[in-house]
């Protein structure tokens, strides 16, 4: 039987993952408005990954006879000053998720919840990849600045991302 405090934390994390997905979708829409379809496509793939992350927690609760309780999702920010600012927000969101995952891992260890610990080890590794990937995009955006041709080329590169079971292919 899953402990109530663990169940509550997992339900909170489901909300956080879906909130992240919603934010990525909003950022994608902003890039669509700017005719930067490659960025928009990359962000939609990220939206899909965040949904999958939320579902991993949902399924974990179901498998352990817990009760998923879906919570409200807030309206995300929809306007940005630049592509770089949009991705800086994405990085901030990923860093927030990383802190929550670490907090949950500590709770799982304190409570002796080995199944949750096991699940969270995957998420810990995933968050390292997520933060690195977004930081890499920010670094590239810093390099190209507001240069139209550089942004165009980066947009093309971003559009080449293929989501495949949560992993990118090149």
Q: Which domains does the chain have, with CATH numbers?
A: 4-159 (1.20.1260.10)
**Mean pLDDT across 57-85:** 96
Phi/psi at 19 (nearest 5 deg)?
Answer: -65, -40
- Mind listing the pLDDT tens digit for each residue in 112-144? 999 999 999 999 999 999 999 999 999 999 999
What is the pTM for the complete model shown?
Answer: 0.90
Residue numbering of the annotated binding site for Fe cation: 17, 50, 53, 94, 127
Alpha-carbon separation of residue 43 from 30, 85, 97, 155, 165 (angstroms): 10, 14, 17, 11, 15
Whether residue 36 is predicted with pLDDT greater than 80 in this model: the reply is: yes
Alpha helices for 64-113 (secondary structure H): 83-111
Phi/psi at 160 (nearest 5 deg)?
Answer: -85, -10
Whether residue 89 is predicted with pLDDT greater than 80 in this model: the reply is: yes
Phi/psi at 74 (nearest 5 deg)?
Answer: -80, 155
pLDDT band at 98 (very low <50, low <70, confident <90, very high): very high
Residue numbering of the annotated binding site: 17, 50, 53, 94, 127
Q: What is the pLDDT of residue 161?
A: 73
d(CA 121, CA 132): 17
CB 1, CB 63: distance < 8 Å: no
Nearest C-alpha neighbor of 23 from the set 45, 52, 43: 43
How many CA atoms within 13 Å lie on the side-chain side of 3? 13
d(CA 149, CA 132): 25
Please report, rounded to a whole number, the percentage of residues in the chain having pLDDT higher than 70. Answer: 95
Q: What is the pLDDT of residue 145?
A: 86
Alpha-carbon separation of residue 141 from 130, 137, 152 (angstroms): 17, 6, 11
Q: What is the pLDDT of residue 116?
A: 98
């Amino acid at each position: 039987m899953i402990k109530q405090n663990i169940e509550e934390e997992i339900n909170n994390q489901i909300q956080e993952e879906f909130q992240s997905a919603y934010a990525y979708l909003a950022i994608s829409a902003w890039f669509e408005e700017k005719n930067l379809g490659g960025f928009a496509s990359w962000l939609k793939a990220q939206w899909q990954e965040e949904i999958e992350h939320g579902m991993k927690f949902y399924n974990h609760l179901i498998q352990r006879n817990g009760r998923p309780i879906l919570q409200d999702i807030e309206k995300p920010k929809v306007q940005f000053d630049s592509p770089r600012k949009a991705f800086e927000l994405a990085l901030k969101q990923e860093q927030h998720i990383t802190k929550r995952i670490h907090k949950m891992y500590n709770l799982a260890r304190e409570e002796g919840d080995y199944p949750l610990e096991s699940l969270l080890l995957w998420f810990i590794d995933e968050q390292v990849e997520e933060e690195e990937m977004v930081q890499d995009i920010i670094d590239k955006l810093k390099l190209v600045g507001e240069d139209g041709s550089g942004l165009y080329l980066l947009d093309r590169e971003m559009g080449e991302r293929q989501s495949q079971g949560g992993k990118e292919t090149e």
